[in-house]
Amino acid sequence: MAKQGTFAKPHSTPILVSACLLGLATRYDGKAKRSQAVIDYLHRENLVPIPICPEQLAGMTTPREKTFFHSGDGRNVLAEDGHVISTTGQPMNDVFCRGAKMVLQVAHLTHCRCALLKERSPSCGVHQIYRGTERVQGVGVTTALLIKEGLDVMSEEDL
């Protein structure tokens, strides 16, 4: 006889979470950025994490070349007037937009209405991103799309 599932508490709410914050080695450098504050928050709020990595969903490998904004931020990339590039100068807008769309599909499939994403990532940044080597105000490409589609988005630094 199969045992009834014990993974999620009754009436728990799904939330998209940057996989690196959960301890998965999905970052561009092949490392994780596990956050105990994120783990504690998910448990305390009875949230079921749906791990996502927009770059991996778009087909990028791990590890992969570091990327950053050359101009604008995620909103500008969606409007086709901003640019994400790799450290060798390769244009990355199409890849980052594809990853953002895949994350949105995951949100729809799992009925997620909120996300907890990694600050300063070119995909997931919520308040800050890197433009070149400079840390500036702005949002990542995935964050911009999720906000545009009405999802609530926060970063690990908002906890």
Q: Per residue in 107-121, pLDDT tens?
A: 999 999 999 999 999
- pLDDT the model gives residue 10: 60
Proportion of the chain above pLDDT 70, given as a percent: 94
13-59: pLDDT as tens digits: 999 999 999 999 999 999 999 999 999 999 999 999 999 999 999 99
The pTM is what? 0.93
Query: At residue 7, does pLDDT exceed 70?
Result: no
54-110: pLDDT as tens digits: 999 999 999 999 999 999 999 999 999 999 999 999 999 999 999 999 999 999 999
For the chain, what is the HEC assignment? CCCCCCCCCCCCEEEEEEHHHHCCCCCCCCCCCCCHHHHHHHHHCCEEEEEECHHHHCCCCCCCCCEEEEECCHHHHHCCCCEEEECCCCECHHHHHHHHHHHHHHHHHHCCCEEEECCCCCCCCCCEEEECCEEEECCCHHHHHHHHCCCEEEEHHHC
- pLDDT the model gives residue 6: 52
